[in-house]
Structure 1
């Protein structure tokens, strides 16, 4: 079975992403290193990219990749800049990494970030009813899981009575590139994700279900846009194809853009794919209103 993770883009590839972002229209202000939640291990930080104007703007949570065990919130700074220049308040976050922190720590951090965005909506000029998610690779997995789960699924990181009364972690639109969408088919004896999930499927099968966005699809899920490299050898193209089919079966709008001739790393930097993702977010979060 192909691997379901990838290393983050650094160096020359990341610089190319940032240079591509600079051609977008509009201005923004960036604030770096705000604490969105305090853990025993220390504060988790967010970088805020705020458009010019009074707002309120749609918000987008931006979640980096890196196999759930590496990467930084600055990894998708170019995308966050593009979002801000196109009328979104973009919030790029750090989250706890494996193997020191096993799942569900990562999705719990993402859910705390969404609560923080809603709790600080006025200051961040965010419309709390219009928040989406953008991620690539491991980050795409996490925003997809945000898209399909809610308080009933046990991944909120809070006792059920507190989660029910806290700001919602539901998102209104998802854009996910190179996303591992369903970990349930992984064979029992394959332990490649033990660092993340705590064991092989034979020893902790429920962890693989809980970490599978496709396992939680319901008709009330938000519209989802997937993009994926045609020759991706790390996350098979079947992953978003299956996810799209299951979402459509449930009556949820889903689109898949296959980036021709590109693998996992290159597809994440493809300007056309990123632009399509932003157009999809704009259409569904009504950024131009």
Structure 2
């Protein structure tokens, strides 16, 4: 027969060891881990991503800063409550304090940035642009930033959606569009949306939350497709957008579009194409263009790439245009929206991240200055803490700010009567 006292003592020892280990993890491990994770993620608010694989951290960290602020505050509280001697507590304390400070940066800059943008909107478009109402009796966002939306998300009411509607067949490629409409049937002002993706990838379903949100505001949103580089090079992409606009013109009633009230909007490569299409020939008048961080001066962008350069900008431009500026300079000139500026262009809203390491904001600013010099209406929105594609986080800090002014700009520009 086994010795029961030995088994009993060994069981007690194991339980005691587990209890001590659990106590250690609770006392040291949780605060330690939370402080390190919070600090690591918060670092990307100020540290640019050196590679494409790390770019999501640089894009996302500022946008989820309210979450990071909460994480760092909890970590700091746990460290202070369990403060003991030992190097791990010192490290945890430093990390949680630094993480808390870093995660507060976007929110600390928010009031000044918002004030500058509001002043810019009023100066360029008039005070009425800040109080414009959407086409249907829906309400605009009440404030540029809503804390609760950062955690629960921005509410998007139901709308009608039709996907993959073909509008052209070009060189064996079927081009399609997605259609987002209000529940109310009838003709609506329209926003033709063009996705980004370095002219090489993407679909009309990109950024669908925005398309649904704007449809709920009373717009018909048409998300357009185009052929991709490097298989198809410029001007194929612009030609596809122009073909889509002809389709919209011809099918306006079936699509429930008021062809007299159409705006173009694009992000990144899509912002570039939207600007070229709006500033060039169109089958119908374009009432406004919204350019989110789109390339504007391709030769300058090639010669002065960002540092760091996570997408290899020169390789992207060479794939799009078929060579360097020395090889195909005319194409670089033709593909640069800044060279298409002339008087009497549609009003432009230019939205750029101050920390964009894919499309530097200084090039957007050059376009803005040239538009103003030619007598055009343009609004400059620079979000100091934001990276490229910041609006991928729809309820993020930057997108809340951009959305607040974008929907007011569009409501102003697409009024039934011309506001300008």
State the TM bucket, normalised to the shorter chain: 0.7 to 0.9
Question: 1:71-82 residue pairs with structure 2 within 5 A?
Answer: 71-82=202-213
Between Structure 1 and Structure 2, the one with more helix by share is 2
The corresponding residue for 1:160 is none
Between the aligned partners of 2:241 and 2:180, the Cα distance in structure 1 is 17
Q: Cα 1:92–1:69, aligned 2, differ >3 Å: closer, same or farther?
A: same
The corresponding residue for 1:271 is 400
1:21–1:79 CA contact under 8 A, matched in 2: no
The corresponding residue for 2:287 is 172
Give the TM-score, by structure 2 length.
0.58
1:180–1:235 CA contact under 8 A, matched in 2: yes
2:293–2:359 CA contact under 8 A, matched in 1: yes
Between the aligned partners of 2:240 and 2:190, the Cα distance in structure 1 is 17
1:21–1:81 CA contact under 8 A, matched in 2: no
* Alignment deviations for residues 78-98 of structure 1 (CA, whole Å, 9 cap, x no partner): 111111011110011221000
Q: Which runs of 5+ in 1 are unaligned?
A: 1-5, 152-166
Corresponding pairs, count: 261
> What SS does the aligned partner of 2:162 have?
strand
* Alignment deviations for residues 28-49 of structure 1 (CA, whole Å, 9 cap, x no partner): 2000110011112231010000
- CA RMSD for the aligned pairs? 2.8
Q: Cα 1:252–1:60, aligned 2, differ >3 Å: closer, same or farther?
A: same
Deviates more, 1:34-43 or 1:206-215: 34-43
> What SS does the aligned partner of 1:252 have?
coil
1:88–1:287 CA contact under 8 A, matched in 2: no
Between Structure 1 and Structure 2, the one with more strand by share is 1
1:231–1:264 CA contact under 8 A, matched in 2: yes
Give the TM-score, by structure 1 length.
0.82
The corresponding residue for 1:161 is none
The corresponding residue for 1:159 is none
The corresponding residue for 1:85 is 216
| 1:256 CA displacement | 1.2
1:60–1:89 CA contact under 8 A, matched in 2: yes
| 1:112 CA displacement | 1.0
* Alignment deviations for residues 171-208 of structure 1 (CA, whole Å, 9 cap, x no partner): 210111111111133449x9531100011111110100
